[in-house]
Amino acid sequence: MNEDISAFIAPLTLILGGGLFAFGALSFIGVDFFKTKLQSRVALAIGLAFIVATELIFVTGSQSGRFFSGMKLDVTDCELEGETELPQERHKDSKLLHDRIVGCMAKLGYEWKVEHEHCKEAQIATNSFCYLPTRPLARAIVKFQTAFE
């Protein structure tokens, strides 16, 4: 998620989620802010959902984890490595340079995938949308992050 948006949304979801969770939880000790127990339970569940959503914002943000933003850096590093090793291939549509970058990414734990729409538009080795991590959790988070691009 965009860091600018998450910086605005995260405090709001924490305040709203925390408040709903607290009001719902207080009903268990007899302090009722809602008319019925069902409303208290719903408030508790919605508050917990907001807190989990905030955690997802933090997990998918570039400041808290490498995931997609880190993958972009890895692509750039592999591009630099490939162009340094094969300077004569730099400005050509080189299959050799393409394979070198894809191989470098494979060593770092990424798989070449042409599933994303942005990759289908430009199937080049330096397109970050053409890779997915091989680790299951990182793969799921990157798929989630790139679904909104």
Between 15 and 66, whose confidence is greater? 15
User: Which residues make Cβ contacts (< 8 Å) with residue 32, sequence separation at least 6?
Assistant: 26, 40
Task: Name the residue ranges covered by the structural domains of the chain.
Answer: 3-60, 67-146
pLDDT score at 1: 47
**Tens of pLDDT along 21-76?**
888 888 888 788 878 888 888 988 999 998 888 887 776 655 445 678 788 889 99
* Token duo for residue 27: 């009903």
pTM flag (> 0.85): no
pLDDT score at 65: 53
pLDDT score at 3: 54
pLDDT score at 76: 92
**Tens of pLDDT along 83-127?**
898 888 877 777 899 999 999 999 999 999 988 888 888 888 889
Q: Is residue 4 very low, low, confident or very high in pLDDT (cuts 50, 70, 90)?
A: low
109 CB burial (10 A radius; 0-12, 13-18, 19+): middle
Residue 78: other Cβ atoms inside 10 A: 23
pLDDT score at 94: 78
Read off the amino acid at residue 42: V
